[in-house]
Chains A and B, each alone.
Chain A
Amino acid sequence: MLRKGILLGLACVMLMGLVVFAQEPVTIEFWHSMSSGHQPYLVDLVNKFMEEYPYITVNLTYQGGYGDTEDKVEASVVAGTPPTMVQLYENVITPLVEVLYPIGPHMTQAEKDDILDGLVPNNTFDGVLVSVPWNKSIMVLYYRSDLIATPPTTWEEFAIMAADLTVDVDGDGVIDRYGTGLRPYNPELFLNYLIQNGGTILNDDWSAVTIGDQKGVEAMQYAESLVPSSYISSGYLSDAVGQDLVAMFVDTSAGYYYNHKAAVDNGFELACARVPAGPVNNSSAIQGTNLVVFDMGQTQAQKDAAVLLARFLIRPENTVAWSLRGGYLPVVKSAYENQDWLDFLADNPDYVVMSEAMIDGFAQILHPNYGLMRGAIGSAFEEVILAASSAVDAMANLVLDLTDLLEY
């Protein structure tokens, strides 16, 4: 009996030792770009994570805007001392894949299947889920519900309604309110038109530029046709809404707070709808960053801890908490059935639209030069919107610019 007790005691001690060994303290660096507005919510989530995994300490460090963070990450990679975890855009991830620790192979199949379909390709490199989506927003149609009873659902309806709503109220020859508003440099808006028309930027293996084909030209011509009914401003269109200058416009869901506030503060009503559908679909652009884990001098314990944090942050309840407080949209399917999210939708019908759009949205391509390609697309769009070039000519020049950027 005594011998059994001693053996049991020894076994318990060994087991405890194993547990202690498995939970050896580990510290990871998490670089992010969430400024004062969003930072408290991220801190709360990370604190919750550290409560659940008390042996992990997360040093959360704000690195400035996305561009600043990218610069610092690049400098740290050159120095061979990158942080354990960072939030980055897809095209920034592509040239770094070689030194990243893929998160996907350390997730359960159920977790991987739960990620929104539109967000899987832009986190997958050579068939492996390397990163996971994090703070995401989507483009939707904002419309003055005090002027528009039923929002347009197709390109044609949108164009007709925009023309009808462009009015010179006092008859002085100056348009007082435009049917829609356009920011000249708006690559995502053009990409909406392109994808909705069945077009693509590049072919599958990135060996050729396809944006200049018939579908691309038609997409640009559609944008061109909207110019006479558009208030054109380089600033955010929330200002124009507040000044009663536009009746409807397409913008990111991340701008919801500002657009809504500008309208309400000036006595107008603003609502959201899906972007009008093109000939092929009504998919719209998803924007935002993803989480990556570095494998460049990090210990196995650090990489494991970072993977745990990434998995934790995209759990349904956490992506919902992040979205509710941070203004983004959940990145996993099950989050859209989460009771907190459903309760939120019941009180905020505009977010129903955003949720629906998110399910079938499209994300950016992974080409390392996508940043410059995006810039070139924005410039071509700008040339057309400012009537400096025809849609056909702008697309021809765009093809030349993108061809120069194919090589990486």
Chain B
Amino acid sequence: MRRKLRIPDHWKYRTFWLESGQAYLYLFPAFLILAVFTFYPFFSAFRLSLYKWSAIHPPGTYVGLGNYAKIFADRHFWNAVWNTFYYVAISVPVTLFLALLVANLLNKPLRMRAFARTSFFLAYITPLVAVAMVWSWMYDWRYGVLNYLLGFLGIDLINWLMDPKFAMLAVIIMSVWRFVGYQAIILLAGLQNIDQMYYDAAKVDGASPFRTWWHVTIPLLTPQIFFVFIMSMIGSFKVFTEIYVLFSGQPGPLKSAETLVYYILRIGRFDGNLLGRAAAASIFLFAVIFAFTLIQLFFTQRKVHYQ
């Protein structure tokens, strides 16, 4: 027997349509901005990835998946993929771990706590170009303060910016230093929102400080940890400026610090005009970030606890 289509009851009321209309009206400006600056460029990039670009006859000649085949056959592309994963795999967990420690420290009743919080955050709000320039001096092989300090430990001079083994590590160290303060402030906000009653209960149960931290603090901080983790991972996949400034416009010695975004800009903008291939690499990067975000959502949401 066929079911009769039934119009939902609330559709019959004028107020429903008025309120819905109002809501969509308020959403419209944001949607317009998203449509123009996010959705259109995304679909445009996808379309461009199927063409061999021509400025005179845009978008050029249709090549299907030819651009994808070209980049997948390019050893420099895979080098960039490897470098990007290397950067993400080290910088994201290390930054988060240090940020957790700093946030816990800043949550203690220390002297000059406000000054300490500001100092940590200062690294994040200082313009990245200025930061990278100062770090490039600190990394200087002969005169840099880093090698000077390592000298006290009996460690040989490290050519941070010229040795392919250390180039990406140099980027990671600078990046960790920059983002620890920012993440710590977010985590600190989460820490301060945890109700004291949980700690009191743990105390009554005789829990040690570490067990309290592990079984009370961390679970109740998971919403902030999850947020910071996702955002820093997405940001890390898109790392570019640090490398560009640190290596004076080059992708590090022997392309040892060339990330995917750098690769995209190099073939599409700095060295060449292969916008179709650059767009294909962009779509690949989008797919990677999207997949990783979904995986994180799947695994971490189960572990997120809300008070």
B74 located at the interface, meaning its Cβ lies under 8 Å from any Cβ of chain A in the complex: yes
Chain A residues lying within 8 Å of B273, measured Cβ to Cβ, are 74, 92, 95, 368-369, 371
B271 located at the interface, meaning its Cβ lies under 8 Å from any Cβ of chain A in the complex: yes
Chain A residues lying within 8 Å of B73, measured Cβ to Cβ, are 404
Query: Which of B248, B250, B254 contacts A383 (CB under 8 A)?
Result: B254
A232 touches B255 (CB 8 A): no
B55 touches A382 (CB 8 A): no
Bin the interface of chain A by size.
20 to 34
A148 located at the interface, meaning its Cβ lies under 8 Å from any Cβ of chain B in the complex: no
Chain A residues lying within 8 Å of B266, measured Cβ to Cβ, are 375
Instruction: Please measure, in the bound complex, the distance between the C-alpha atom of A397 and the C-alpha atom of B76, giving whole angstroms.
Output: 11
Query: Which of A99, A232, A233, A388 contacts B56 (CB under 8 A)?
Result: A99
Q: Would A386 and B253 be within 8 Å (CB), given that A67-B270, A233-B162, A374-B271 are in contact?
A: yes
CB distance from A385 to the nearest CB of B (A): 10
A98 touches B270 (CB 8 A): no
A234 located at the interface, meaning its Cβ lies under 8 Å from any Cβ of chain B in the complex: yes
A235 located at the interface, meaning its Cβ lies under 8 Å from any Cβ of chain B in the complex: yes
CB distance from B257 to the nearest CB of A (A): 12
B180 located at the interface, meaning its Cβ lies under 8 Å from any Cβ of chain A in the complex: no
Instruction: Please measure, in the bound complex, the distance between the C-alpha atom of A92 and the C-alpha atom of B247, giving whole angstroms.
Output: 25
B211 located at the interface, meaning its Cβ lies under 8 Å from any Cβ of chain A in the complex: no
B203 located at the interface, meaning its Cβ lies under 8 Å from any Cβ of chain A in the complex: no
Query: Which of B74, B254, B271 contacts A382 (CB under 8 A)?
Result: B254
Query: Which of A71, A234, A397, A404 contacts B253 (CB under 8 A)?
Result: A234
Q: Would A375 and B56 be within 8 Å (CB), given that A382-B253, A386-B254, A404-B70 are in contact?
A: no
Q: Would A404 and B74 be within 8 Å (CB), given that A234-B248, A234-B250, A371-B273 are in contact?
A: yes
B56 touches A96 (CB 8 A): yes
B250 touches A185 (CB 8 A): yes
A375 touches B70 (CB 8 A): no
B248 touches A372 (CB 8 A): no
B54 located at the interface, meaning its Cβ lies under 8 Å from any Cβ of chain A in the complex: yes
CB distance from B279 to the nearest CB of A (A): 14
CB distance from A240 to the nearest CB of B (A): 11
CB distance from A399 to the nearest CB of B (A): 13
Contact with A along B261-278 (1 / 0, CB 8 A): 000001101111110000
B56 touches A77 (CB 8 A): yes
Q: Which of B8-44 contact A (CB under 8 A)?
A: none
Chain B residues lying within 8 Å of A382, measured Cβ to Cβ, are 253-254
Contact with A along B244-262 (1 / 0, CB 8 A): 0001101001110000000
B272 touches A369 (CB 8 A): yes
Chain B residues lying within 8 Å of A235, measured Cβ to Cβ, are 248
Task: Tell me the dominant secondary structure on chain A's binding face.
Answer: helix
B253 touches A372 (CB 8 A): no
Q: Would A71 and B274 be within 8 Å (CB), given that A77-B55, A77-B56, A386-B164 are in contact?
A: no
Chain B residues lying within 8 Å of A232, measured Cβ to Cβ, are 162
A388 touches B164 (CB 8 A): yes
Task: Tell me the dominant secondary structure on chain B's binding face.
Answer: loop
Instruction: Please measure, in the bound complex, the distance between the C-alpha atom of A74 and the C-alpha atom of B74, giving whole angstroms.
Output: 26
Q: Would A78 and B55 be within 8 Å (CB), given that A234-B253, A368-B273, A404-B70 are in contact?
A: yes
Chain A residues lying within 8 Å of B171, measured Cβ to Cβ, are none
Query: Which of A95, A374, A388 contacts B54 (CB under 8 A)?
Result: A95
A379 located at the interface, meaning its Cβ lies under 8 Å from any Cβ of chain B in the complex: yes
> Which of A77, A92, A375: most chain B CB closer than 10 A?
A375
CB distance from B161 to the nearest CB of A (A): 7
Instruction: Please measure, in the bound complex, the distance between the C-alpha atom of A77 and the C-alpha atom of B75, giving whole angstroms.
Output: 32
Instruction: Please measure, in the bound complex, the distance between the C-alpha atom of A42 and the C-alpha atom of B273, giving whole angstroms.
Output: 29
Contact with A along B52-64 (1 / 0, CB 8 A): 0011101000000
B254 touches A95 (CB 8 A): no
Instruction: Please measure, in the bound complex, the distance between the C-alpha atom of A372 and the C-alpha atom of B271, giving whole angstroms.
Output: 5
CB distance from B212 to the nearest CB of A (A): 50
Closest B residue to A375 by beta carbon equals B271
A372 touches B274 (CB 8 A): yes
A316 located at the interface, meaning its Cβ lies under 8 Å from any Cβ of chain B in the complex: no
Q: Would A78 and B58 be within 8 Å (CB), given that A368-B273, A371-B273, A388-B164 are in contact?
A: yes
Instruction: Please measure, in the bound complex, the distance between the C-alpha atom of A185 and the C-alpha atom of B249, giving whole angstroms.
Output: 11
Chain B residues lying within 8 Å of A96, measured Cβ to Cβ, are 55-56
Instruction: Please measure, in the bound complex, the distance between the C-alpha atom of A388 and the C-alpha atom of B254, giving whole angstroms.
Output: 8
Instruction: Please measure, in the bound complex, the distance between the C-alpha atom of A271 and the C-alpha atom of B274, giving whole angstroms.
Output: 41
A83 located at the interface, meaning its Cβ lies under 8 Å from any Cβ of chain B in the complex: no
Instruction: Please measure, in the bound complex, the distance between the C-alpha atom of A67 and the C-alpha atom of B75, giving whole angstroms.
Output: 25
Q: Which of A1-59 contact B (CB under 8 A)?
A: none
CB distance from B64 to the nearest CB of A (A): 15
Chain B residues lying within 8 Å of A184, measured Cβ to Cβ, are 162, 253
Closest B residue to A379 by beta carbon equals B255
Instruction: Please measure, in the bound complex, the distance between the C-alpha atom of A204 and the C-alpha atom of B162, giving whole angstroms.
Output: 37
A71 touches B269 (CB 8 A): yes
CB distance from A173 to the nearest CB of B (A): 13
Chain B residues lying within 8 Å of A397, measured Cβ to Cβ, are 75
Contact with B along A370-408 (1 / 0, CB 8 A): 011011000100110010100000000100010011000
Chain B residues lying within 8 Å of A99, measured Cβ to Cβ, are 56
Chain B residues lying within 8 Å of A233, measured Cβ to Cβ, are 162
Contact with B along A346-377 (1 / 0, CB 8 A): 00000000000000000000001101101100
Closest B residue to A234 by beta carbon equals B162
Instruction: Please measure, in the bound complex, the distance between the C-alpha atom of A386 and the C-alpha atom of B162, giving whole angstroms.
Output: 9
Instruction: Please measure, in the bound complex, the distance between the C-alpha atom of A388 and the C-alpha atom of B165, giving whole angstroms.
Output: 11
Contact with B along A260-285 (1 / 0, CB 8 A): 00000000000000000000000000
Identify 21 residue pairs between A and B in the complex whose beta-carbon atoms are under 8 Å apart, listed by A's number: A77-B56, A78-B55, A95-B54, A95-B56, A96-B55, A184-B253, A234-B247, A234-B253, A369-B274, A371-B270, A371-B273, A372-B267, A372-B272, A375-B270, A375-B271, A379-B254, A382-B254, A386-B162, A386-B253, A386-B254, A388-B254
Besides A78-B58, A386-B162, 11 new A-B residue pairs in contact (Cβ under 8 A), listed by A number: A92-B273, A98-B56, A184-B253, A232-B162, A369-B273, A369-B274, A371-B273, A372-B271, A379-B255, A382-B254, A404-B74
A-B pairs with lowest CB-CB distance, top 9:
A372-B272, A375-B271, A371-B271, A77-B55, A74-B55, A372-B271, A371-B272, A78-B58, A388-B254
